[in-house]
Amino acid sequence: SSCELEALASHWTTLADARDDDNVFTATFVRNLEPWTCRAVADGTLTPDYKDYPASVYAAALLVALLQLVGGVSTILPMNTVEYLFYFTSILAGTLLFAAIQGIICGVVTTGNPDEIQWRQQNDALNFMMADQKVPQRSRVFVRSYFRNAKKLIKRRSYDDLIDECLTSEMKGDVRFLICWASLRGVWWLQECEE
């Protein structure tokens, strides 16, 4: 195959450098001048007839890309300056992209329900205030219970401000009616009433 020919040519050109002090060959290939596919064949990652199986080359490349993205190493390592620069750039870009995606996901998760966030912050503020003012435990339990049970009411009050800020006067009345009507439908003896 072409890899074997390239490796053999590289091997013969540096044969003298591949011997140790006992005149034993210590290297079979000159790795710095080979393409990554040839090194993958030599390492056993790809088969010698890899050109007939492009999916295996693609899978090996995806493995390297994925491992670079998470900062790991792979069986296919950079061996020359260009590959090291590309590897470094890939790791840097992949890490930045990975961090950006994580930031977007965390931002969506944490700000997905602004009313819930506001309720939790108010709950934390109440707990801090009660601890700071040394409110008795029995009163703390009562306040927390009220605050938990009033959660929907607090949310509805925030809707009043939103309606006042964003809608026209005609729309304000319609939307307030629909919100109230949805609550009144839950009362069984009011279900017979007309709109």
The domain spans of the chain are 2-110, 113-149, 151-195
User: Which of 11-15, 76-80, 113-117, 181-185 is least confident?
Assistant: 11-15
Calculate mean pLDDT across residues 74-100. Answer: 77
| Share above pLDDT 90 across residues of the chain, in percent, rounded to a whole number | 16
Q: What angle do CA 77, 79, 53 make, to 5 degrees?
A: 55
Q: What is the pLDDT of residues 28-79, one digit of tens each?
A: 444 556 777 777 787 777 888 888 888 888 877 877 777 766 666 666 666 6
Span 120-128, average pLDDT: 92
pTM: 0.40
**Partners of 19 in beta bridges:** 25
- Residue 25, classed as helix, strand or coil, is strand
Report yes or no: 80 and 88 within 8 Å, Cβ to Cβ. Answer: no
Helices (H), 111-168: 114-132, 137-149, 151-166
Is the Cβ–Cβ distance between 46 and 60 less than 8 Å?
Answer: yes
pLDDT at 98 over 70: yes
pLDDT for res 152: 83
Tell me how far the alpha carbon of residue 81 is from its chain's centroid: 31
